[in-house]
Amino acid sequence: MKDEVNIPISADWSKEEVIDVVNFFEMVDQAYSKGAEKEVLGALYKRYKEIVPSKSEEKQAFKEYEKQTGQSPYHTVKKARESEERIIKM
C-alpha cells in the first residue's frame, strides 16, 4: 500500500469498526502484492458490509481507494467470489 493512502472511514464508527475497515483494505492491498487468502478476504468483506451496508457508500469508498492506489476492492472481492483458488492474486 502506498505510504499516504487515506482509507475511507467515518467519524461515526467505533474504534473496532475502523480497525476492521482498515483490515479489509489492507487485505485488498495484500491481494495485489503477494496474494490474499480467499476465506480471510471474504470474512473481512462480510464485516465491512456490516459496517457499511449502503451500496452507494461502498461504491464511493471503493472508488476513492482505487483512485489513490490503483487497486480495485470491487474486482478483488468479485474475483474471490468467483475463484476456486484458495489464494487470490490480483
Q: Domain locations in the chain?
A: 15-83
Note the pTM of the prediction, 2 decimals.
0.92
| 21 contacts: CB under 8 Å, gap ≥ 6 | 7, 8, 9, 13, 48, 51, 52
Of the candidate CATH numbers 3.40.50.300, 3.40.50.920, 1.20.140.10, 1.10.220.80, the domain formed by 15-83 belongs to: 1.10.220.80
What's the pLDDT score for residue 1? Answer: 52
Distance CA 71, CA 51 (A): 21
How many helices and strands (H and E) does the chain possess?
Answer: 4, 2
Question: Quick one: pLDDT band at residue 81, thresholds 50, 70, 90?
Answer: very high
pLDDT at 38 over 70: yes
What is the reported pLDDT for 4? 79
Per-residue pLDDT reduced to its tens digit, 54-69:
999 999 999 999 999 9
Amino acid at 2: K
